[in-house]
Structure 1
Amino acid sequence: MDPALLRERELFKKRALSTPAVEKRPTESASHKKKKAKADKEGSSGSKHNADPNFSLKALTGSSGYKFGCLAKIVNYMKTRHQRGDTHFLSLEEMLDETKLLDIGMKQKQWLISEALVNNPKIDVQDGKYAFKPKYKLRDKKSLLRLLDKHDQLGLGGILLDDVEEGLPNSAKAIKTLADQIIFVTRPDKKKVLFYNDKHCQFVVDDEFQKLWRSVPVDSMDEEKIEEYLKRQGISSMQETGPKKVMPVQKRKKPGGQKKRRFKTHNDHLAGVLEDYSEGVPAKK
């Protein structure tokens, strides 16, 4: 081979090695872009399912919240079916079928049967079957009226509208029918309380009795004295059930201002020997 060509070849290799090379990044292919767009779409749909309370509980499989999520879904479903009038008992398999929880394992089923459903205050268990257990078992508008009348006669006050809606199937229709026999009172926390409207107590009081009532002075009596008087007469006073405002505790200031800080003294056994030079050297006697 020609020596001149060999020399030119070696020089070309040296120049190529000394010149830095910049690698050009390959552009994304169309298929890669489609896969990325599909993944973003699935991620956004997953966040929507998490916001939905009725999403599938498969996402919680393997986590500690999976079984409690199943329990919450079952209790909410039993409450909903009770409110629409379906009060008959269901077996565990029927509840799982209607709540679409057929994919749970035997370990979770055993936990529901032995612990969760039995100890839940909102679930009633009879002969291995389950139903919703409201605070007040109400069948119709007559049972609601009897319950309100009983509370009024015993001085127990009213009943929360939430408890009535929880225990009475089709409660809105029943309450609308009994509108003239029920008194609604709204508490400070915006919750409504139902009271029995006893029409036998609606009478006209004579003006003379009204004047006598208003002439009795009660300025010197506080609430405690009035409550004690009612107890002596065999009358129970109604206690406030609304939320109480907690007043912030104010720290009391110590009398006399701040105390002077005391420093620990040393060498007490040399009290008559040592001299204080903090204000300069004392004059010689």
Structure 2
Amino acid sequence: VIGLDYKNPYLSPFDEFQRFKTHPSIKKYLEGGKRIAYGARALIEGGLQSLPKMHMPGALLIGCDAGTLNMPKIKGSHTAMKSGMIAAETIFEHLKEKKGLSIYEQKFKDSWVYKELYLARNVKPSFSWGLILGILFTGIDQILFRGKLPFTLKHKHADHETLLPANKMKKIEYPKPDNVITFDKTSSVYLTGTNHAENQPVHLQLKDSNLPINYTLEKFDEPAQRYCPVGVYEVQIENNLPKFVINSQNCIHCKTCDIKEPSQNITWVTPEGGGGPKYGNM
């Protein structure tokens, strides 16, 4: 798991994962094995402080759509299921007793899910102080005080605000894949089983089609080329001029671009026809 609040626009989460696998402590478990699947997903780890209003006319936000992941444990299935159960109770009372869907918020706060997220609330924000201080504080907060410190830390920024200009950061050179332990994005995309109808509208939409070349490429060396784990975004040279290309057919709906794009110029919308990855072996 790589936090999307990283600063270096040259960082590639996909390539960091490939490099991670070459560590002797990890590589020994992978040698002799066979790659059978690949996938990627952005996790919502903002916790309690990042929970939005979870009700609206005719709908409720639950699970990972709301952000109920327990970040220190990197677990969210149990909280997602419980939030779904609370939503079912809310909908039942809404239909039978004509109660407003807003009662979901109070039911959620009265549940063990809220308590669990409250006890874990300070872990993620503390890592804004740096890795070492974050680990030390988390130990004090979670082990000594069991998450009951009398204050709540706040998130200082959104993930898309953290990138520094490319000319101020060191370029990262990643080793070429060996196709045994490490692999490239192209062959990895194939293993996701991703499929989108050929003639459907592009579901990755740009608010300003000129911004990637005129601003993001110049200032950040267009980080979309690297933060996307399946190579959806490319900068190609045509007639000696850079061109921003969106390979939407490769998209596995991880939502990283929607989160990390520094100018928030990319909007992910639901694709037509149920297209996307088919994680058969995951």
Return the structure number with greater relative CO, CA threshold 8 A, min gap 6.
Answer: 2
Q: Do the two structures share a fold, i.e. TM-score over 0.5?
A: no
Q: TM-score range by the shorter chain?
A: under 0.3
Report the TM-score when normalising by structure 1: 0.19
Higher helix share: 1
